[in-house]
Amino acid sequence: MLVDELPTHVEQRLRSFGVSAESRLLCAVSGGVDSVTLLDILAALAPQMGFALGIAHADHGLRGEASRHEAAFVRHIAEQQGLPIIVEELPVRDFARQRRCSIETAARHLRYDFFRRAAQSFRATHVVLAHTADDNAETVLLHLLRGAGLEGLAGIPPQRELFPGCSVIRPLLEVRKQTLLAYARARGLQWCEDESNRDRRFRRNRVRWELLPLAEQIVPGAVSNVARCSAIVRRATDGIEQLLDPLLRQAALPDGTGFFFSDAHWDSLPAFFQAELLRLAVRRLGCPYSPPARRLAAALALRTAQTGKRTNLTQTLLLFREHNGLSLVPVSEPFPTVAVAPAGSYRVRGWELSFQPISAADVCLGADPWTEFMDAERLPPTLHWRAPLPGDRFHPLGMPRPMKLGDFLTKQRIPHWRRHLLSVLADEHRVLWLCGIRLSQEVALSPTTRQIVRVQLRRVSPTPPSDDSSGD
C-alpha cells in the first residue's frame, strides 16, 4: 500500500465499521509510531466525517521513568491536538502476582478493563486500536506454535464488541508496519521507541525480529499471506458461529447466566462442533479467551461421566454433568449465612427475603414457588438464610419422613446448575424451606395453625451506596 493511500484506506475501514457523524471515537495511543500515526489520520478525518475524537492512554508502569515519559508525551500530543485524554496507571505487576498469571496476560486484562471504563466515560461508540498486519502475523504464528484452534489461527479480529453500544475496531489491520513508518516520517511525526519491544527474551519479539524476517526471505509477502490465511479462517469461524447460534439460543438458561446442552442436541453434533459450541458459549458468557485444549478435552469427556461430576472450563465457568445433559454456569461464591428473625425483610446479593404476618383469608397456596406460608408458632426465633450444607436434613412437604437434602435434590432431579445457586431457610441442619422449590412439613400450615407468616424471596436491584459527601 502506498503512503498516500493510507488515509483513504482508514476512512473506508471506518465506514465499514459503522463510523458516522454521530460516532464518538476513543483512540488508544501508547506513544509508539503505530498509534501516533493512527491518531494523526483520525484527527485529519474527524472534521470530514464529523465524528468526535478522544485519546486513551494506559500506563502499564512496567518501565519506570520510560513509562512516565510516554504518558507525558501522549498528554502533550493531546494538548497540541486539542483533544480530550483519559490516562490511567495500571497495577500490572500486582495483578499478575495476585492472579498468578504472566505480565503479558495481566497487562492485556487490565488494559481492556481500562478501555471499557474510558469508553464509558467518553461515551465512545468505538475504541480504535492500531494493530497492523505485522501484529496479526505475529499473533497467528504464536498461536500456531502453541497448537491453537481455529479461533487462534483467525488472528486479531478487525472488530469486536467491547460492551453493548461500543466496539473495538482496528482500521490498520491490513497495513504493513513499514507503511506506517514511511507515513510518519513523511508527516514529520514524533513518537516514542519502546526498548522492551526489542528484548529477545520475550517470545513475541523473537517472532517479530527473527521468524517474520526469515519467513519473508523464504516467501516474499509472507506477512500478507498470513493475513490472508487468517481472514479465511475468520470467515470460517464466523460461519460456524452462525450455524451454532440457534443451538446456543435454545440452550440458554432462563436467567441468562448460563447454558444447558441436552444430550439429544449434544450427540447430534460431531466432536469438533461440540468443542466449538463450548467455545462460543464461553465467549457469550463474557470470557475474553477460549478454554485451553486440555480443559476442552476434559469438558468433552464429561458426556460419559457420572451425574454430578464437574470441571472448570475456565477460571470463572463450571461445566456440570446432569442426568440428561451438560450445564455451563459461572463460578459463584457460596451464599453467605445470614441470621434472620421471622419478621421484616433482608437483602443479600440481589435477593430480598421478607416475612409478613397475614390472616388465613390471605393465604394462596401454590400460586408462586417463591412465596410460602408458614405456621409462625412452629418457627424458631432465629433462622439461618444460607447455602445448603452437607448433612442438611429435610422433611419435604407431602413426603412421609425426613431425608437428606442431597437425596431429595437427586430424587427431584434438580439440575446441578440450579443447585449451585440454591439458598435455604434453616434451623441449624434442619431445612425449613428449600427456597423456590419445597417447604418443610415441619412448618407447614395445619388445621391447628393460629398464626400465619408469609415468606417471600424475590430478585431486587442492588441497593446503591449512600452518598454522604458534600461539596463539589
The per-residue pLDDT for 1 is 63
CA angle 423, 426, 427 (to 5 degrees): 160
The per-residue pLDDT for 196 is 67
Work out the average pLDDT over 61-72. 80
The residue ranking higher by pLDDT, 430 or 254, is 430
The per-residue pLDDT for 204 is 82
Q: How far apart are CA 203 and CA 212, in angstroms?
A: 12
Query: How large a percentage of the chain has pLDDT more than 70?
Result: 95
Q: How far apart are CA 240 and CA 276, in angstroms?
A: 8
Which residue blocks in 29-91 are alpha helix, DSSP H?
33-49, 65-81
- Torsion sign (Cα): 414, 417, 423, 427: positive
Work out the average pLDDT over 291-304. 88
Work out the average pLDDT over 268-291. 88
Which single residue is written with the C-alpha cell 471506518? 14
Pairing of strands 383-386, 338-340: antiparallel
Q: How far apart are CA 319 and CA 258, in angstroms?
A: 10
Q: Is 214 helix (H, G, I), strand (E, B) or coil?
A: helix
pLDDT band per the 50, 70, 90 thresholds, residue 65: confident
For the chain, what are the domain ranges?
A: 3-222, 252-330, 338-459
Work out the average pLDDT over 45-49. 96
The per-residue pLDDT for 166 is 96
The per-residue pLDDT for 307 is 86
- Is pLDDT above 80 for 195? no
pLDDT band per the 50, 70, 90 thresholds, residue 442: very high
The per-residue pLDDT for 365 is 84
- Is pLDDT above 90 for 249? yes
- Is pLDDT above 90 for 291? no
pLDDT band per the 50, 70, 90 thresholds, residue 428: confident
- SS3 percent helix, strand, coil of the chain, rounded to 5, is 45, 20, 35
The per-residue pLDDT for 314 is 86
The per-residue pLDDT for 148 is 81
The answer to whether 304 and 288 are in contact (CB under 8 A) is: no
Q: Is 349 helix (H, G, I), strand (E, B) or coil?
A: coil
Question: Which residues, 6 or more positions from 327, have their beta carbon under 8 angstroms from its beta carbon?
Answer: 253, 258, 259, 260, 261, 319, 320, 415, 416, 417
The per-residue pLDDT for 467 is 37
pLDDT band per the 50, 70, 90 thresholds, residue 471: very low
- Is pLDDT above 60 for 139? yes
pTM beyond 0.85: no
Which of 10-24, 217-231, 329-343, 426-440 is modeled with the greatest confidence? 10-24
Q: Classify domain 3-222 at the CATH topology level.
A: Rossmann fold (3.40.50)
Which residue blocks in 309-462 are alpha helix, DSSP H?
405-411, 416-419
Q: How far apart are CA 453 and CA 293, in angstroms?
A: 53
- Is pLDDT above 90 for 140? yes
Q: Classify domain 252-330 at the CATH topology level.
A: 3.30.465
